[in-house]
Amino acid sequence: GQSLEQPSEVTAVEGAIVQINCTYQTSGFYGLSWYQQHDGGAPTFLSYNGLDGLEETGRFSSFLSRSDSYGYLLLQELQMKDSASYFCAVTGRFGAGTRLTVKP
Amino acid sequence: DAGVTQSPTHLIKTRGQQVTLRCSPKSGHDTVSWYQQALGQGPQFIFQYYEEEERQRGNFPDRFSGHQFPNYSSELNVNALLLGDSALYLCASSLALSGYSYEQYFGPGTRLTVT
């Protein structure tokens, strides 16, 4: 089977940095993806890690350690518009999501 | 470039009825996955279609079935609706060449309410 664990909620202030962790157990692993979903909207793809290490895309970075079955999404210079739910996903299976609230 | 489209946007059905939801993938994509998302939860994988065949299936009963057409569009059918089937149904498309759908594009979803 597959399971993905991530914190349910994270709160941070504007301009800060926040890290959302994800640990996974899967029978087959082909990389870790991250998605963002605003309330009332559809998930949108943020990043993908197929190999160990850090991938950077603007203010967002994602990290993977396959030996630890662990990854994280790093959001820098937080903005109010970053308030949303963030999901990690493996082979199309999603975690329960982390709700990020950015406060002024 | 047209993104993923889904129809209808909202639907109200009665318990025991059947429903069909439709999805057109992003232009150039050949793989369609369906998800059920309850309020406050992550998307739950229902199944994935590629080359008109069901390639993977999540932990959903046989009441949930699907189809993919030669133009890659897809349908999700749910029979004998239960109150617990009320949810947002999301369709996501991807390229098979991208590997196990690591980069999926989602449609806006169909909000199904079962009364």
The string of pLDDT tens digits covering residues B20-61 is 999 999 999 999 999 999 998 999 999 999 999 999 899 999
Quickly tell me which residue has 């009441």 as its tokens.
B63
Residue B1: pLDDT above 80?
Answer: no
CB contact, 8 Å: B33 with chain A? yes
- pLDDT score recorded for residue B70: 96
- pLDDT score recorded for residue A2: 79
Structure tokens at A81: 């518009």
Residue B99: pLDDT above 60?
Answer: no
Instruction: Write the pLDDT tens digit of every residue in B64-85.
Output: 999 999 999 999 999 999 999 9
- pLDDT score recorded for residue B101: 58
Across the A/B interface, how many CB contacts are shorter than 8 Å?
Answer: 54
Q: How confident is the model at residue B2 (pLDDT cuts 50, 70, 90)?
A: confident
Report chain B residues whose CB lies below 8 A from the CB of A43: 43, 90, 92, 104, 106
Whether B100 and A92 lie within 8 Å, measured CB to CB: yes
Asked if A25 and A90 touch (Cβ cutoff 8 Å), the reply is no
Q: Which residues of chain A have pLDDT under 50?
A: none
Q: Which of A24, A29, A37 to mutate to test the interface with B (most CBs of B within 10 A)?
A: A37
What type of residue is B61? P
- pLDDT score recorded for residue B96: 77
In angstroms, the first-to-last Cα distance of chain B is 37
Three-state SS at A103: strand
Whether B104 and A92 lie within 8 Å, measured CB to CB: yes
